[in-house]
Structure 1
Amino acid sequence: MDTAEIRRRFLAHFEAAGHAVVPSASTLADDPNLLFVNAGMVPFKPYFLGQETPPFDRATSVQKCIRTPDIEDVGKTTRHATFFEMCGNFSFGDYFKEGAIQLAWDLITKPVADGGYALDKDRLYPSVLVGDDEAIALWMKVTGLPRERIVQLGPKENYWSMGVPGPGGPCSEILFDRGPDFGPDFDAATLGPDMPVELEDRLLEIWNLVFMQDDLSAVRSKSDFDIAGSLPKKNIDTGMGLDRVALLLQGKKNMYEIDIVHPVIARAEQLTGKTYGADRTNADDIRFSVVADHVRSAMMLIGDGVTPGNDGRGYVLRRLLRRAVRSMRLLGCEDRVLPELMPVSRDAMSPTYPNLVTDWERIAQVAFAEEDAFRKTLQTGEQVALRVVESAQVTKMVTAQDAFTMHDTYGYPIDLTLEMAAEHGLQVDQQGFIDLMAEQRDRAKADARSKKGTHGDTAVYRGIFDTHGPTEWLAYETLETESRPLALLSRGEAVPRLVEGEIGELVLDRTPFYAESGGQVADAGTIIVDGGKLEVIDVQRPIKGLVVHQVRVVEGELDATREVHARVDPEWRIGARQAHSGTHVVHAALREVLGPTALQSGSYNRPGYLRLDFGWTQALSPEQVRDIELVSQQALRADLAVGWDYMTLEQAKEWGAIALFGETYDNTQVRVVEIGGPWSRELCGGTHVDHSSQIGTVVVTGEASVGSGNRRIEALTGVEGFGYLARERDVVAQLTSLLKTQPDDLVGRVQGLAERLRAAEKELEKARLAQLLGASAELAAGASQVGPVKVVAHRADGAGGADVRNLALDVRGRLPRGEPGVVVIIGQADGKVSVVAATNDEARSRGLSAGELVRALGPLLGGKGGGKDDVAQGGGSDASRIDEALALVTTEVARATTQG
């Protein structure tokens, strides 16, 4: 049974049982605690939390998911994948344990002819939470299985929570016995509380049924939590792994061999000339699996709008793409591979996800550009790696710091460093490298925790929402409201009042303030109370439906019993509307100039300023930037009507509205903003002008790269745009006056001056170098005699690295022929110390090495260095010890010649 049919049967089964079929949401989670949707329930989370009323009592979906903790395990087991599809059914206060068990058991055991999967009942083992006697009884009642066929496991396996206070509950897993080829024999009645590792492949979990019934007040770990009480309604959340069921129904050993994954492996075999054998202990077979998983995962992420970057989602994508390319390289293919592999994955997945075909040009552009960038990184890294290898020749060990720098600074993977080190008979301090990586991860986690800020723990906001309901949000209708405070908070705690000078948070029953979202900053303004005044600093939605104002008390005080007058600064709002509408205009102009694949990947706008990030692999020419600006100005001159309407997401897509990458949208209703009808239609919740002419002007001020495959345009609008042009005009006027020329001749005049300046600088450089090298003969003639060796140890103040090297080589060339000679020049310039050592053939024959000399001097100068026996260089930061270092040269030469 192919995967598409398994998916179809799942949805049909639950639709026939009265479930609403909900399309898969994006893999990008609308959740501050998640990078990606990692479970089928995530899009339904507001319903489970009680933040929203579900439009249905029961639902079903096949949700795209990404789990990043499993990346390192991909290929090593039969069940881990980065991208997977989770088939789920959900009950919101409707059926509970018995209904969930009955529905799941019916689907997996009923005959194929009746729409089921016909899995062998004798190989199915339900698991329950230890002590859940109710679930045991229900499994026996529904399935007819004996008590000894039901496995009891502890909370680590069979209790579910979100990891934070909120809903939770015991689980039941459905396990399939794959037979003795996949693990030892077992006794189901005696298993528990933890599933033995050696049985995880044999007893394959295919479905998890969560009985969501508890209200958790604290979650310290998967097995350590406090239950505050019962939820008002008991809910069901289940997840059946589509890929796992596919491998069973298709008779495959692992999920990498199913119909929608294995074609990539087959193509990789053709490209590498190697054969995949599905051996989890074979390095090549693991690499084939990594390639198949990562190519598909990366393609799906790009399809949802992720672009490669150095942090967050972009870093995950970059890591997936580079691991795939690297694995193909280790399999023996050093040519470009993504143009060969990704179309194969597209063809396997596009029957379910047609956007992979319609958006292929953009997806391919992003992926292939990242591979090309990585190939250049590998070339650069190999050059750096050769220097690292060279410096490790004495100790025969590549240091952990060097390996980490290769990985972190140059993007050079550790396994390639290991490979190159082995080729040169070296080892790598792998444990030290692992420790440095762990330190980096700890820093990243700490940084991520700090960035969650005051809204990291949403329990207090959920409590306000549960008590008072959603905020009446009137930002589209008015700039002023009479409002009633619902809660005052200070440092996350409820307080009775805020006094003058204090900063806190205020929740109102109704508000005209725009809360930051969709790239638009929050409104500024004031809140007036009898005898007091508050400045609004920020406005956020820490949970859906609740608007929270961060305020500073400017005058008087505020308590929660007094009504207030909330007023948005009208000038601020005008500027914000101009900037947000300007962003839409620039986006439409961008697509008109560059083509439909130039789609926005991020934006930010505040009054008078906008920036727009978009997927593009090369810098824009000045002509393209001018064209984008011209098309934008023409749209403003045309006074295009700006309007908005509400519709379902599917209707919006059919209407041609652009759903911006990185944003998540309600499946039931979205807001579509259009400028000039079909010229610009985007899903957007921001504030906008009524006609494009009200934007005033659009002045592009910059275009630059913000990562591989991503560019950024910055522009000013309204008064700020006019101010920028006025300043530019003033600069031109001052320059024309200063240079006694006309504006049209200004560029030519400045170019002429610049050329004359460059020519003068070259002449000065020649004179300075001639003066520096003029001392070469004198230095060579004054060489001291250390045993049989002529030694020049000279301090060159004001000389940088290149000058020091030139001087050292020139002096070496002037030393007497046939006599051993050593030259060491130490210069200092701009606070940096540079050292270069050079030896002639006769010196090297006596065992003198320039590299050894530089390494000996490095610690004195507060730095390090190295190189070959004939020429070596280094640097440092401690100029106070230069004379001491020069004295050490004589000592080192004497020691070396004596030993020789």
Structure 2
Amino acid sequence: MQTAPLSTAEIRRRFLDFFAERGHTIVPSASLVSDDPTLLFTIAGMVPFVPYLTGLVPPPYPRIADSQKCIRTLDIDEVGKTPRHGTFFQMLGNWSFGDYFKKDAITFAWELLTTPEDEGGLGFDPNDLWVTVYEDDDEARGYWREVAGLPDERIQGLGKDTNYWSTGVPGPAGPCSEIFFDRGPAYGIDGGPATDDDRYVEIWNLVFMQYLRGEGTGKADFEIIGELPKKNVDTGMGLERVAFIKQGVENFYEIDEVRPVLDKAAEISGKAYGANHEDDVRMRVVADHVRSALMLMSDGVTPSNEGRGYILRRLLRRTVRAMRLLGVETATFPALFAESRDAMKATYPEVATDYDRISHLAFSEEDTFLRTLASGTTILDTAVSNTKAAGKSQLAGDTAFLLHDTYGFPIDLTLEIAEEAGLSVDRSAFDALMAEQKSKAKADARAKKRAIADLSVYSDLRGKGETVFTGYTELQTESRVLGIIVDGVSVPRASEGQVAEIILAETALYAESGGQDADQGVIVGPGYELEVLDVQKPVKGLISHTVQVTRGEVGVDDIATSVVDADYRRGARQAHSGTHIIHAALRQVLGPNAHQSGSYNKAGYLRLDFSWNQGLSPETRSEIEEISNNAIRDDLEVITRELPLDEAKALGAMALFGEKYGDVVRVVDIGGPWSRELCAGTHVSSSSEIGMINLISESSVGSTNRRVESLVGIEAFRDLAAERAIVAQLSGSLKTPREQLPERINDLVASLKAAEKKIAAFEARAVLDRVPALLEKADRAGAVRLVAENAGTLGSSDDLRLLVTTVRERLGSDPAVVALAAVVGDRPVVIVATNQAARDSGAKAGALAKGAASVLGGGGGGKDDLAQGGGSDASAIDAALTSVRSALGG
């Protein structure tokens, strides 16, 4: 009886079980939001382990195995076109940190791959497998012969550009050995992986980190300067690639975790998958991007116009675009995301438990983009009309780029609409602008990569252990100086006036994290004092104090006492606990979908971003503020405790998106379960210590996120006291009781508007009274009647425009030009108007205004019938008007 093909989840389970049985600690996947400041996302399975592989942070275990979620969008344009390109993928990996090396890594990989399925392996036929090694790595080649019995022709040696790993900067490096599956002659030419043909699919890469590389550029241009003291193994097996091979389907998009979305896209569009290549590509794009977006949002990424949010927004919009090309112009996300949720929830249950929030974000983004497409089409239609009116056949590249970059309007949609209108698009100009944008992004990434390379200065310091934070219970802690860094270099001492980084064994000073700003304070010791400018965590487990030496000299191994500014810490604790209070109040009023998506707090101030797609009414803001202050009044007990992560979540503690949590977490309860969150910040001991919350603003930070800002404690009181003083002053000035001020002010505003209307009417009448005198001054200038006069000083350009257009109308249908100048707000302004007969004779207002403005020392222009200019030299008004007469031949 034929058994069912291995599911993706089963392949994952077999991999992890295999390595658990061989002494590996199984660790959970890290978030898609990478800790590495040079990366937007976790782009490879090795990213979470870089600090261990480079020696920056001591590894917690000698051997590890995991299944890591990854996002990679560099090849986004290839999605759907090849059998293996996907933006979200899962990398199975086994890791050795100074434990086993090449032989064991090769043995493990071969054993798992070739052990029959009924014996717990993956059941690959050894005859279908090829391997590559680095061309000079005879050791690995020998192990493949010994362990796997592979013939030499199926062990191919390749160069540094493909089979050598490094971070791209000086540091660990080493040869790779890759395992490929041969799909057979029906899929391409013979010759093995060296042919770089799609017939051979890479399924596993074994990296042997054994050397230290020096400076260099590119993948191959660097030298090896020595061996590492500890040799590491980093492997990665592409789960989706193994799944599509084991499930007997043609590509990545047809496996069990992806195909349901593809089928739903086919059902909605009425298209048959497999009937048309272009439609197939679009359905694959939909299947891939919906799954990727689902996983990103489950890790707390929200759509926005920058960074990670921009990548998510691009995935969602490409999905809408693909469905549009499949003939569907209505909303499809409710159906598509539900399919992806059901396909992924067995492995990632959070996509189901958090689906209300995820779907709210996705559906709102789709609605917004459908409206964007409508407005973008209007902008494009105008550009098409203007292009045609100018007698051109090509739409400008900068117009296409503006639509793409500013409005999120896809270039392929621009091409399609332009083609329907009989126009082409200047792709070379568009591509040049895109290349310029990408070049800037790459330069920024390279700069960040160089910056992270400098983190190696912390390696030895981190090797001495984690910095102990004592500030939860102490405001002053005696310790010793472990290290001093000046300008990125470790030094033995820092002198008066210098700015340096100080690493202590213990510290009471809070490092900026979890939305809470760093503490203020000092570090003191025998004969020296240091003003603390900032406190950060440059690498996991290490706290660095940026200081200025204000007195004396500090050296490594000196005794050092960290002293927290008590007033500042009190304010910071109030603000952080206040953030939790407002978050709980928001959820009480708006519901569980109003989930915190970011925060910042410091002494006296807090801001909180939350997922929501519409502004809060004044009544809602007042309700949230009242609930928050009632919680403060009720003097709720604040309890902090450390618990295993799973136990904390079981208690209902909220994990905030974008935050990283270890196996043991700190839970902060305010009023028991009323507010229960995972948080490493500092907090008050009871809610009454917060004092007061005063919401000062509520605003948008994107189509699906809002922001509230609040003053806290004494700062909240001072703000309200200032408002009280203003109200008292108004009440006294207007001789009106406080409660009647709004009505009194409204009456005054209404009276002022009525008076302004009357004044405007009088001024307009006064302006128009000048028309007869101007008409009398009309004379000939070439083929037209011309009125060119200095109107003196006027209140606004609108007055001058009214005068010009009225005179033009009174001059009748014969060719006529009116050019009037005036001083408006201490600056000269000239306005020129022409009638149709004058324009037919060649008189253009825009050109005349531009010439006059240049005489005034400025610039101007406009349409052929009405144009305006200005300058800085009011004494040149008569000369400017003369230039108009001269231009007309007068």
Structure 1 portions without partners, runs of 5+:
896-900
Residues 608, 275 of structure 1: CA spacing in aligned structure 2 closer, same or farther, 3 A cutoff? same
Q: Residue 64 of structure 2 aligns to which amino acid in structure 1?
A: A
Q: Residue 540 of structure 1 aligns to which amino acid in structure 2?
A: Q
Q: Which of 136, 145, 148 is the matching residue for 1:140? A: 145
1:261 aligns with: 258
Q: Which of 421, 425, 446 is the matching residue for 1:424? A: 421
- Corresponding residue SS for 1:101: helix
Q: Check the 8 A contact 1:478/1:512 in 2, yes or no.
A: yes
Q: Check the 8 A contact 2:854/2:871 in 1, yes or no.
A: no
Q: Residue 401 of structure 1 aligns to which amino acid in structure 2?
A: D
CA-to-partner distance for each residue in 1:53-87, whole Å, 9 max, x for gaps?
Answer: 54543332222111132223323332221111112
Provide the rounded CA distance (Å) in 2 between the counterparts of 1:37 and 1:179: 33
- Corresponding residue SS for 2:50: helix
Provide the rounded CA distance (Å) in 2 between the counterparts of 1:38 and 1:510: 34
Pairwise mapping of residues 834-853 of structure 1 onto structure 2 (< 5 A)? Answer: none
CA-to-partner distance for each residue in 1:228-264, whole Å, 9 max, x for gaps?
Answer: 4333433322211122122222333221222322333
Q: Check the 8 A contact 1:864/1:876 in 2, yes or no.
A: yes
Q: Check the 8 A contact 1:454/1:491 in 2, yes or no.
A: no
Provide the rounded CA distance (Å) in 2 between the counterparts of 1:637 and 1:886: 73
Pairwise mapping of residues 352-363 of structure 1 onto structure 2 (< 5 A)? Answer: 352-363=347-358
2:672 aligns with: 677
Q: Residue 478 of structure 2 aligns to which amino acid in structure 1?
A: E
- Corresponding residue SS for 1:762: helix
2:161 aligns with: 156
Residues 637, 298 of structure 1: CA spacing in aligned structure 2 closer, same or farther, 3 A cutoff? same
Which range moves more in the overlay, 368-377 or 676-685? 368-377
Pairwise mapping of residues 142-291 of structure 1 onto structure 2 (< 5 A)? Answer: 142-186=147-191, 191=194, 196=195, 199-218=196-215, 220-277=217-274, 283-291=278-286
2:412 aligns with: 415
Normalised to the residue count of structure 2, the TM-score between the two structures is 0.90
Provide the rounded CA distance (Å) in 2 between the counterparts of 1:427 and 1:525: 64
Residues 5, 531 of structure 1: CA spacing in aligned structure 2 closer, same or farther, 3 A cutoff? closer
In the TM superposition, what is the alpha-carbon distance from 1:592 to its structure 2 partner? 1.0
In the TM superposition, what is the alpha-carbon distance from 1:456 to its structure 2 partner? 6.4
In the TM superposition, what is the alpha-carbon distance from 1:840 to its structure 2 partner? 5.5
Residues 288, 145 of structure 1: CA spacing in aligned structure 2 closer, same or farther, 3 A cutoff? same
Q: Check the 8 A contact 1:581/1:695 in 2, yes or no.
A: yes
Residues 604, 161 of structure 1: CA spacing in aligned structure 2 closer, same or farther, 3 A cutoff? same
2:528 aligns with: 532
Q: Which of 581, 585, 589 is the matching residue for 1:585? A: 581
In the TM superposition, what is the alpha-carbon distance from 1:842 to its structure 2 partner? 5.3
Q: Residue 688 of structure 2 aligns to which amino acid in structure 1?
A: S
Residues 447, 889 of structure 1: CA spacing in aligned structure 2 closer, same or farther, 3 A cutoff? farther
2:433 aligns with: 436
- Corresponding residue SS for 2:205: strand
1:400 aligns with: 397
Q: Check the 8 A contact 1:799/1:827 in 2, yes or no.
A: no
- Corresponding residue SS for 1:487: strand
Q: Check the 8 A contact 2:80/2:285 in 1, yes or no.
A: yes
Identity percentage of aligned residues: 52
Q: Which of 293, 303, 306 is the matching residue for 2:301? A: 306
Pairwise mapping of residues 96-135 of structure 1 onto structure 2 (< 5 A)? Answer: 96-135=101-140
Q: Residue 620 of structure 1 aligns to which amino acid in structure 2?
A: L
Match status 1:40 vs 2:45: yes
Pairwise mapping of residues 76-91 of structure 1 onto structure 2 (< 5 A)? Answer: 76-91=81-96
In the TM superposition, what is the alpha-carbon distance from 1:179 to its structure 2 partner? 3.1
In the TM superposition, what is the alpha-carbon distance from 1:212 to its structure 2 partner? 2.6
Q: Which of 553, 566, 569 is the matching residue for 2:565? A: 569
Provide the rounded CA distance (Å) in 2 between the counterparts of 1:877 and 1:297: 55
Q: Check the 8 A contact 2:393/2:423 in 1, yes or no.
A: yes
Which range moves more in the overlay, 147-156 or 330-339? 330-339
Residues 639, 277 of structure 1: CA spacing in aligned structure 2 closer, same or farther, 3 A cutoff? same
Q: Residue 412 of structure 2 aligns to which amino acid in structure 1?
A: D
In the TM superposition, what is the alpha-carbon distance from 1:48 to its structure 2 partner? 2.8
Provide the rounded CA distance (Å) in 2 between the counterparts of 1:826 and 1:277: 71
Provide the rounded CA distance (Å) in 1 between the counterparts of 2:185 and 2:766: 83
Q: Residue 636 of structure 2 aligns to which amino acid in structure 1?
A: L
Provide the rounded CA distance (Å) in 1 between the counterparts of 2:286 and 2:519: 47
Q: Residue 649 of structure 2 aligns to which amino acid in structure 1?
A: K
- Corresponding residue SS for 1:175: strand
Match status 1:293 vs 2:288: yes
Q: Which of 500, 505, 520 is the matching residue for 1:509? A: 505
Residues 379, 787 of structure 1: CA spacing in aligned structure 2 closer, same or farther, 3 A cutoff? farther
1:898 aligns with: none
Q: Check the 8 A contact 1:507/1:548 in 2, yes or no.
A: yes
2:516 aligns with: 520
Residues 261, 865 of structure 1: CA spacing in aligned structure 2 closer, same or farther, 3 A cutoff? farther
Q: Residue 677 of structure 1 aligns to which amino acid in structure 2?
A: G
Q: Check the 8 A contact 2:509/2:518 in 1, yes or no.
A: yes
Provide the rounded CA distance (Å) in 2 between the counterparts of 1:690 and 1:857: 73
In the TM superposition, what is the alpha-carbon distance from 1:9 to its structure 2 partner? 2.7
- Corresponding residue SS for 2:510: coil
Provide the rounded CA distance (Å) in 2 between the counterparts of 1:207 and 1:865: 65
CA-to-partner distance for each residue in 1:763-805, whole Å, 9 max, x for gaps?
Answer: 3344444555566676677666566555667888868787777
Structure 2 portions without partners, runs of 5+:
none
CA-to-partner distance for each residue in 1:491-529, whole Å, 9 max, x for gaps?
Answer: 112334323222111122222111111111111111223
CA RMSD, Structure 1 to Structure 2 (Å): 3.4
Q: Check the 8 A contact 2:56/2:456 in 1, yes or no.
A: no
For these two proteins, the number of residue pairs brought into alignment is 880
Residues 544, 187 of structure 1: CA spacing in aligned structure 2 closer, same or farther, 3 A cutoff? closer
- Corresponding residue SS for 2:407: coil
1:63 aligns with: 68
Q: Which of 487, 495, 508 is the matching residue for 2:483? A: 487
Q: Residue 378 of structure 2 aligns to which amino acid in structure 1?
A: Q
Provide the rounded CA distance (Å) in 2 between the counterparts of 1:286 and 1:553: 62
CA-to-partner distance for each residue in 1:394-452, whole Å, 9 max, x for gaps?
Answer: 44433333333333333333333333333333333322222223333344455567789
Q: Check the 8 A contact 2:37/2:448 in 1, yes or no.
A: no
CA-to-partner distance for each residue in 1:12-47, whole Å, 9 max, x for gaps?
Answer: 333333433322222111221221111223333343
1:598 aligns with: 594
- Corresponding residue SS for 1:536: strand
CA-to-partner distance for each residue in 1:581-615, whole Å, 9 max, x for gaps?
Answer: 11111111111111111111111111111111111
Q: Residue 413 of structure 2 aligns to which amino acid in structure 1?
A: L
Provide the rounded CA distance (Å) in 2 between the counterparts of 1:276 and 1:563: 72
Residues 451, 865 of structure 1: CA spacing in aligned structure 2 closer, same or farther, 3 A cutoff? farther
Provide the rounded CA distance (Å) in 1 between the counterparts of 2:392 and 2:710: 55
Residues 873, 140 of structure 1: CA spacing in aligned structure 2 closer, same or farther, 3 A cutoff? farther
Q: Check the 8 A contact 2:38/2:445 in 1, yes or no.
A: no
Q: Residue 231 of structure 2 aligns to which amino acid in structure 1?
A: K
Provide the rounded CA distance (Å) in 2 between the counterparts of 1:345 and 1:270: 15
Q: Check the 8 A contact 2:852/2:869 in 1, yes or no.
A: no
Residues 644, 229 of structure 1: CA spacing in aligned structure 2 closer, same or farther, 3 A cutoff? farther
Provide the rounded CA distance (Å) in 1 between the counterparts of 2:257 and 2:691: 52
Provide the rounded CA distance (Å) in 2 between the counterparts of 1:874 and 1:397: 30
Provide the rounded CA distance (Å) in 2 between the counterparts of 1:449 and 1:214: 23
